[in-house]
Amino acid sequence: MRVFAKIRLPPIFPSCVNSLSNQEQSRPFLLRVRVYYEDTDALGVAYHATYLKFMERARTEWLRGLGYEQHSLRDRHGLGFIVRSLSLDYLKGARLDDLLEVSVALTRRGGASLDFEQELRRVSDGALCCRGLVKIACVAADTLKPSPLPQRLLAEIADVR
């Protein structure tokens, strides 16, 4: 098992860090994700449904940054978030091992819904791979009927129209 002694890594290995970028006032939330074999298809690029997963990972981490975890929303508040509609443009195929930065910008908040603009950019050259609008509804976890967003969450995002 001494093989591991040969691996020389910096204290934090940037190429696989799924970190939250520094949150500056005017910039959207960013999450880094890596393209693995599981994400690719026989054309050698990320399968088109994969981008939806990456976008949801980023929204989930955005929400976690606001103090909400999806499982406690469901288990304690009986709430879930579901996608109501989405519109995506695929601009450049992400490839195996690409490191992508997924942005999350909240563009509208309703009483029981949130609209997001999201982009996926390749970190190495900044190429825009995919961008989209995603409309999310807050629902009761058991019935999936619309349900008001938690008051505290609404307060956190009060600055958004």
**Min. distance of Cβ 110 from its own copies in angstroms?**
14
The set of residues, in sequence order, having a beta carbon less than 8 Å from that of 113 and lying 6+ positions away, is 84, 135, 136, 137, 138, 146, 149
Q: Rounded to whole angstroms, how far apart are CA atoms 159 and 122?
A: 30
When the beta carbons of 82 and 128 are compared against its own copies, the nearer one is 82
**Min. distance of Cβ 56 from its own copies in angstroms?**
6
**Min. distance of Cβ 148 from its own copies in angstroms?**
18
Catalytic residue among 39, 41, 115, 125: 41
Catalytic site includes residue 41: yes
When the beta carbons of 28 and 119 are compared against its own copies, the nearer one is 28
When the beta carbons of 79 and 121 are compared against its own copies, the nearer one is 79
The set of residues, in sequence order, having a beta carbon less than 8 Å from that of 61 and lying 6+ positions away, is 20, 29, 31, 104
**Min. distance of Cβ 126 from its own copies in angstroms?**
19
CA 81 to chain centre: 13
Question: Residues with catalytic annotation?
Answer: 41
